Structure 1
Amino acid sequence: MRTLGGQLPLALAVTLALGAGAARAQDLSASYEGAPVRFGQGEAHTVVRTDADGKPVSIGIVFSESALAGLPAGDKDMAPAYQLAMPSSGPQTVVDHVVINWEGHGHPPPGVYDVPHFDFHFYLVSPALRQQVAFGNEGESGDPRQQPPAALLPAGYVVPPGTAVPQMGVHAVNPAAPEFQQQPFTATFIYGYHNQQQTFVEPMVALSFLQSKPSFSAAVARPASYGKAGVYPASYSVTYDAAKLRYEVALQDLR
């Protein structure tokens, strides 16, 4: 093709420019879903949602309304657990896998979390490493060797004695949360550690709150730093979709 002065013909140059602009404007927003797992009388799966640039903006657990029915009564010392894999495609996140723990009898402290609820654990470590987490007793969370460095603990959070759970870790709670101020427990956000390393983040949600079919979101207190490189939530949500008859508990506003 002959050109004038070594330049592309004007019409071709305009076409190429428009094509490049269209490519840049391509919308890469999508939802990537993990394999479903039987949960109650329904199913649950993970989901990662991306923005127009293809970057992850939320990591969630989606489960059918029927999942709240037919849950096992269970022994109060043995909470039924449901392990969910992350999506096999889409962007990688800091979350390795998810475990839903059904606490049909609640757990300590009394008057706070002793109501039926779910622990939605988003683990930063592999199942093999998680299963190696062991303690002599639940009081070991008060041991200095299990207290995380200040930089990994959000302001106001504490790791009290009595929160060391095998195959989980120690649990950091916010004493200023409403449930510690004599208000009914609805939903809260917890951080987990083992051997002074971050191992999970955990929205914890009361069954009664889910049954109210909420549209809830709240800011997440963030530590100064994280032990695993990646983006972490600045908020979380608990929502009910009346059209699809399902719930979603999600880590949102990843940054």
Structure 2
Amino acid sequence: MIRNALRMRWSLPLALALLVVASFTPMLIAAGSKASASTPVLSGAEADRAALPKLTSFNKVSLGDGTVETLYAADSAKRPVALAVRVDAAAMKTLPSTPTHDGQTCFDTGGDGIDLEADCASGHERTLWFPKLNGLPFQWLMFNWQKNGHGPTHVFDKPHFDLHFFIQDFSARNQIRTGSCNLVINCDDDATAKKPVPAPYAPVGWGLPGAAGRMGNHIIDPNAAPANGGAFTQAFAYGTWNGHISFWEPVVNRDWVVSEKPASACQPIPQTPQVELTGYYPETMCTRYGSGGEMTFTFEKFVKRTAPAGAKAPVWSSKSTAESAVRHQH
């Protein structure tokens, strides 16, 4: 019962969640978009051509009896070609299961001490870093292993990996407080996280499953799997904070990876009409199960996107990210 209650603190039942998406018009953007209604998985010859790029390891931390690491590929000008997250075979076999959460995102709701099952979220979390490649908007990774999944019910309530590719800088993210609202988030910060992203920087028609402490808000496409009732294999969400896209989040079903062992499951990433920061952004995401039992997730097919004239880089907190903005405008 405690576990189910925790899930419901973030999520609405699927029917209600979709009703919110359809009816809460102030939170949705109605202009044109490059985001598609669904994200078909590439197959056949297309998948065969999606070979794993040669990757260089950048940052590695422990997970279970193994490791999770970030990797990358770059061209001769240090522009991104691929950005990757790998969970090695030892970690895939020994993913933490007890307790459900490792205590990094918690709030003592009852005033009687932290209960790792009832007062926490984010599963088992790891922080990793990305290299400072030219024009790369992503600075760091918040990796979450969710043993029991989370809401919305019948959407993301299966064991899975949340891969938060953060554009928002690390110090500003650390100012997002935990609290008693939604998924263990401070109520004032919950409101800040849910400020709608204005056109043309938001994906059209995407809704608001909810905000989380130490993360921000999450928005998903209600017409794409698994929100539309389709199979949960790999999915995609955007994160928002104070009216800006703050992270890109692939969500990968562990059971699908282990049972289907995809050699190269790739799909297009829904794009926003415009970006606030000029830089190189991926158009494709892929999940691969290696012959040794490891899982490798990649962002690939990076293309340069130019912010429209007059666009201002996000200021994430009182500590301005001007230095980061200058780096991304190269």
Q: Which amino acid aligns with 2:245?
A: Q
Among residues 27, 43, 48, which one is paired with 2:67 in the alignment? 43
The TM-score normalised by the length of structure 2 is 0.62
Cα distance in 2 between the residues matched to 1:240 and 1:92: 29
**Contact in 2 for aligned 1:155/1:221 (Cα 8 Å):** no
Q: Report the identity percentage.
A: 25
Structure showing greater radius of gyration is: 1
Name the residue aligned to 1:114.
Answer: 157
Deviation at 1:98, TM superposition (A): 0.6
Deviation at 1:94, TM superposition (A): 1.2
Deviation at 1:37, TM superposition (A): 0.7
Deviation at 1:52, TM superposition (A): 6.0
Please give the residue correspondences for 1:110-149 in structure 2 after superposition, counting only pairs within 5 Å.
Answer: 110-134=153-177, 137-138=181-182, 146-149=195-198
**Contact in 2 for aligned 1:134/1:165 (Cα 8 Å):** no
Is 1:104 aligned with 2:152? no
Q: Which amino acid aligns with 1:37?
A: V
**Which string of whole-angstrom CA distances, capped at 9 and with x for unpartnered residues, describes residues 191-237 of structure 1?**
10111112110100111122122121101111112233311111111
Q: Which amino acid aligns with 2:124?
A: P
The TM-score normalised by the length of structure 1 is 0.78
Q: 1:194 to 1:47 in 2, by over 3 A?
A: same
Please give the residue correspondences for 1:235-250 in structure 2 after superposition, counting only pairs within 5 Å.
Answer: 235-242=284-291, 244-250=292-298
Is 1:170 aligned with 2:170? no
Among residues 84, 87, 92, which one is paired with 2:128 in the alignment? 84
Is 1:194 aligned with 2:236? no
Q: 1:241 to 1:228 in 2, by over 3 A?
A: same
Name the residue aligned to 2:48.
Answer: none
Cα distance in 2 between the residues matched to 1:142 and 1:154: 20
Q: Which amino acid aligns with 2:234?
A: A
Cα distance in 2 between the residues matched to 1:109 and 1:250: 25
Name the residue aligned to 1:67.
Answer: 91
Figure out how many residues of one structure are paired with residues of the other and give that number.
223
**Which string of whole-angstrom CA distances, capped at 9 and with x for unpartnered residues, describes residues 223-255 of structure 1?**
11223331111111111221x542211111111
Is 1:55 aligned with 2:79? yes
Q: Which amino acid aligns with 1:50?
A: A
Deviation at 1:166, TM superposition (A): 1.1
Aligned to 2:282, the other structure's residue is in SS state coil
**Contact in 2 for aligned 1:220/1:236 (Cα 8 Å):** yes
Q: 1:92 to 1:34 in 2, by over 3 A?
A: farther
Cα distance in 2 between the residues matched to 1:106 and 1:152: 29
Among residues 252, 264, 269, which one is paired with 1:220 in the alignment? 269
**Which string of whole-angstrom CA distances, capped at 9 and with x for unpartnered residues, describes residues 104-139 of structure 1?**
111111111111111011111222111112376228
**Contact in 2 for aligned 1:34/1:84 (Cα 8 Å):** no
Among residues 20, 26, 33, which one is paired with 2:57 in the alignment? 33
**Contact in 2 for aligned 1:32/1:87 (Cα 8 Å):** no
**Contact in 1 for aligned 2:287/2:295 (Cα 8 Å):** yes
Aligned to 2:128, the other structure's residue is in SS state strand
**Which string of whole-angstrom CA distances, capped at 9 and with x for unpartnered residues, describes residues 133-192 of structure 1?**
23762287688961111212123322x2x5100111100101011212322311101110
Name the residue aligned to 1:7.
Answer: none
* Gap runs ≥5 in structure 2: 1-52, 102-116, 304-330
Cα distance in 2 between the residues matched to 1:142 and 1:177: 26
Bigger mean CA deviation after superposition, 185-194 or 43-52? 43-52
* Gap runs ≥5 in structure 1: 1-28
Aligned to 1:61, the other structure's residue is in SS state strand
**Contact in 2 for aligned 1:30/1:50 (Cα 8 Å):** no
Cα distance in 2 between the residues matched to 1:124 and 1:228: 10
**Which string of whole-angstrom CA distances, capped at 9 and with x for unpartnered residues, describes residues 62-112 of structure 1?**
221221222222245431101112237x64621111111111111111111
Q: 1:81 to 1:135 in 2, by over 3 A?
A: closer
Q: 1:226 to 1:197 in 2, by over 3 A?
A: same
Q: 1:31 to 1:182 in 2, by over 3 A?
A: closer
Deviation at 1:40, TM superposition (A): 2.1
Deviation at 1:53, TM superposition (A): 5.8
**Contact in 1 for aligned 2:217/2:240 (Cα 8 Å):** yes
